[in-house]
Amino acid sequence: MLSELSPHLLAALYVVAITAEAMTAALVAGRRGMDWVGVCVIACVTALGGGSMRDVLLGHYPLTWVAHPEYLWITAVAALITALTASIMRHFRTAFLVLDAVGLVVFTVIGCQVALGMDLPMTIVLVSGMVTGCAGGVLRDVLCNRVPLIFRKELYASVSAVTGAIFTGLLALSVNVHLAVLVALGAGFVLRMVALRLNWNMPTFIYRDRP
Amino acid sequence: MLSELSPHLLAALYVVAITAEAMTAALVAGRRGMDWVGVCVIACVTALGGGSMRDVLLGHYPLTWVAHPEYLWITAVAALITALTASIMRHFRTAFLVLDAVGLVVFTVIGCQVALGMDLPMTIVLVSGMVTGCAGGVLRDVLCNRVPLIFRKELYASVSAVTGAIFTGLLALSVNVHLAVLVALGAGFVLRMVALRLNWNMPTFIYRDRP
Amino acid sequence: MLSELSPHLLAALYVVAITAEAMTAALVAGRRGMDWVGVCVIACVTALGGGSMRDVLLGHYPLTWVAHPEYLWITAVAALITALTASIMRHFRTAFLVLDAVGLVVFTVIGCQVALGMDLPMTIVLVSGMVTGCAGGVLRDVLCNRVPLIFRKELYASVSAVTGAIFTGLLALSVNVHLAVLVALGAGFVLRMVALRLNWNMPTFIYRDRP
């Protein structure tokens, strides 16, 4: 049963995830006064950039959106609808945070699976998950000319690291891969929600040249 | 006749295009007070970065400038000459805009052709054209630490999208590929010139967190 | 004797180099108030990003850190130790500059060797060395949202270019490759130290739209 549930669940959650990332990215692009083409580009980069960077770094071709161009259309359309309905969207802030957390853990687990499928060592499996989960947001922030948020706030990258560590840890303990997917998704999602709720942050390292 | 004209025309226009992109990039780098090495690097990234990003995303190796190192020299020399003669160059603003428009449409059509040669679906052909046409300017603006211009102004990315759409549309209608190249180049160039002349912009999406 | 010395020396200096780059990157990240995950990411990108960009551009897979995940741990641990001991680290500014110069020339020579091993033309060998030597610092500055330092100051990219030119020049003169490595490393390092000591800079190109 698990072996049927986990691939379909991941595939469905992936579409939810790229849609959610595209919508939040559209709002960030709107804050910079971008035109509609810019909004679509930022949305595609945010939603699909993490997986693209992982595939380029691992030499894993073709990239997801090259093999499945429909993902480009999903993100672009989601971004345009968000831009057109931004005055309504502001009332759904909590829903966005929930969907964004889904995206983070889903991307991370998919990234781990890609590296596992290439028989790469565990460190790289973990890094592959983190790159897939976090690099899209980093690219978005670089294109919008701000210091990437995930380096400073919100435990974002840490949740990705923990999700990947749970997933690879369970596999190392010979747990069934489908069960490991579900446990990692659930644990990562709960951790992210708790972190947001309690406003957790990682210790920050502030350095000044003069004491 | 067309089958002889279009490849030679594209090859000649490509050299014109990378030279023009290198020259405009050198002026942008000068505004940031970069040294001569920085000017050369920014010029190479602007002129050759779009094609490089396309090739990396599509797994299309070797990259153009790796197979043809002379393109690196052309861009670097063009950038240095521009830096040395900047006080004269300011009088040729219109010529730069015309050459930059040539670059945009030439890069776009070449990008479409590369994806077509790899038998990729039409959506990817279009995206390949846009990445080739626009990514160099995006990389230039990221390295110069500003929000990429094409996301905010000047219909730049839109002209690239329309040029690619005309090209792929004509091919879908079974028009001869060489004729499609010439029509797409001409239509895209005219659209860009008209857009500049009439100061057209795409609708901008401005979003504030509080109404 | 040289043929035994140069590979071991390069391998040992490479570990010194990534450690040094990770430590200086951690201090830059601290200036931006990043959390510990951000510090580790910036350190890995700075220390391993130049080689990664070279490998992606040349299609040279697998990337160094994918084949040797221990390099990721070395850079992450070095960055965390630096963050924890930053108040002490400020007293070792000169040592950092020396180690950073070692990193620059070692990365450059390794980058040249990778391109040589792929039988690429001399221009690409030179560019491969410069990308390996300089791109990590560029990526660090882009992620920290500032105009890359190497485009404006300190003769950094120029030292990399000269080191690569000496290396490829000696090979073109049929000098033994191991001797060429040692001479290029030594000459590049001395040039960098002299440039820092005498505060040399490349001519800067400053351009204003209005005279």
Q: What residue ranges of chain B have pLDDT lower than 50?
A: 211
Chain C hits for B90, CB-CB cut-off 8 Å, are 209, 211
Chain B hits for C142, CB-CB cut-off 8 Å, are 142-143, 145
Mean pLDDT, residues C115-136: 94
Question: pLDDT value at position B7?
Answer: 77
Q: What residue ranges of chain A have pLDDT lower than 50?
A: 210-211
3-class SS at C11?
helix
Tell which residue, A191, A184, A182, has the closest CA to residue A166.
Answer: A184
Q: Kindly state the tokens that stand for A55.
A: 């595939």
Smallest CA–CA separation between B201 and chain C, in Å? 23
Looking at residue C86, the DSSP 8-state letter turns out to be H
Tell which residue, A67, A126, A201, has the closest CA to residue C72.
Answer: A126
| Average pLDDT value for chain C | 87
- C122-143 vs C2-31: helix axis angle to the nearest 10? 30
Question: pLDDT value at position C1?
Answer: 57
Identify whether the C-beta of residue A34 lies closer than 8 Å to the C-beta of residue A46.
no
Residue C116 pLDDT > 50 = yes
Question: pLDDT value at position C205?
Answer: 63
Residue C149 carries which side chain, given as an amino acid letter? Answer: L
Smallest CA–CA separation between C134 and chain A, in Å? 18
**Cross-chain CB nearest to C205 (options B35, B41, B145):** B35
Question: pLDDT value at position C211?
Answer: 42
Answer whether A66 sits within 8 Å of B151, measured CB to CB.
no
Q: What is the pLDDT of residues B69-92, one digit of tens each?
A: 999 999 999 999 988 887 787 777
Any domain includes C210: no
Answer whether C153 sits within 8 Å of B35, measured CB to CB.
yes
Any domain includes A107: yes
Smallest CA–CA separation between C151 and chain A, in Å? 18
Any domain includes C204: no
Any domain includes A203: no
Q: What is the pLDDT of residues B144-158, one digit of tens each?
A: 877 776 666 657 888
Any domain includes B53: yes
Smallest CA–CA separation between A66 and chain B, in Å? 6
> CB-based contacts of B188: which residues, under 8 Å, 6+ apart?
B104, B105, B108, B109, B159, B160, B162, B163, B166
Answer whether B35 sits within 8 Å of C145, measured CB to CB.
no
Measured distance CA(C95)–CA(C100) in Å, rounded: 8
Per-residue burial over C133-146, b if 16 or more Cβ lie within 10 Å, else e, is bbbbbbbbbbbbee
Q: Subunits with at least 3 CB pairs below 8 A relative to chain B?
A: A, C
3-class SS at A207?
coil
Answer whether A66 sits within 8 Å of B205, measured CB to CB.
no
Measured distance CA(C153)–CA(C134) in Å, rounded: 13
As a whole-number percent, the residues of chain C with pLDDT over 70 amount to: 90
Answer whether A29 sits within 8 Å of B150, measured CB to CB.
no
Any domain includes A204: no
**Cross-chain CB nearest to C146 (options B42, B83, B145):** B145
Residue A168 carries which side chain, given as an amino acid letter? Answer: T
Answer whether C69 sits within 8 Å of A123, measured CB to CB.
yes
Identify whether the C-beta of residue A125 lies closer than 8 Å to the C-beta of residue A112.
yes
Chain C hits for A161, CB-CB cut-off 8 Å, are 37
SS3 content of chain A, % helix, strand, coil (to 5): 80, 0, 20
Answer whether C29 sits within 8 Å of A209, measured CB to CB.
no
Half-sphere exposure of B201 (CA within 13 A, CB side): 12
Measured distance CA(B211)–CA(B203) in Å, rounded: 19
Any domain includes A80: yes
Name the residue with higher pLDDT: A71 or C38. A71
According to DSSP, the residues that pair with C204 across neighbouring strands are B35
Specify the pTM.
0.91
Identify whether the C-beta of residue A173 lies closer than 8 Å to the C-beta of residue A89.
no
The DSSP result for B57-114, as a single string, is HHT--S-HHHH-THHHHHHHHHHHHHHHTHHHHGGGHHHHHHHHHHHHHHHHHHHHHH
Any domain includes C159: yes
**Cross-chain CB nearest to A145 (options C26, C31, C145):** C145
Q: What is the pLDDT of residues B122-144, one digit of tens each?
A: 999 999 999 999 999 889 888 88
Answer whether B26 sits within 8 Å of C124, measured CB to CB.
no
Range of the domain at B167: 2-198
> CB-based contacts of A22: which residues, under 8 Å, 6+ apart?
A43, A44, A46, A47, A74, A75, A76, A78, A79, A82
Question: pLDDT value at position C2?
Answer: 63
Identify whether the C-beta of residue C143 lies closer than 8 Å to the C-beta of residue C134.
no
> CB-based contacts of B76: which residues, under 8 Å, 6+ apart?
B22, B40, B43, B44
Q: What number of C-beta contacts closer than 8 Å exist between A and B?
A: 89
Mean pLDDT, residues C94-118: 90
Measured distance CA(B39)–CA(C206) in Å, rounded: 10
Backbone angles phi, psi at A7, to 5 degrees: -65, -40
Identify whether the C-beta of residue B180 lies closer than 8 Å to the C-beta of residue B163.
no
Q: How far is CA B3 from CA B74, B114, B125, B182, in A?
A: 27, 17, 21, 11
The DSSP result for A30-90, as a single string, is HHTT-BHHHHHHHHHHHHHHHHHHHHHHHT--S-HHHH-THHHHHHHHHHHHHHHTHHHHG
According to DSSP, the residues that pair with B168 across neighbouring strands are none
How many domains does one find in chain A?
Answer: 1
SS3 content of chain C, % helix, strand, coil (to 5): 80, 0, 20
Measured distance CA(B53)–CA(B2) in Å, rounded: 30
Question: pLDDT value at position A35?
Answer: 78
Backbone angles phi, psi at B35, to 5 degrees: -85, 180
ipTM of this complex: 0.88
Question: pLDDT value at position A211?
Answer: 43
Measured distance CA(A41)–CA(A26) in Å, rounded: 9
Looking at residue B4, the DSSP 8-state letter turns out to be H
Q: Kindly state the tokens that stand for A27.
A: 């709002």
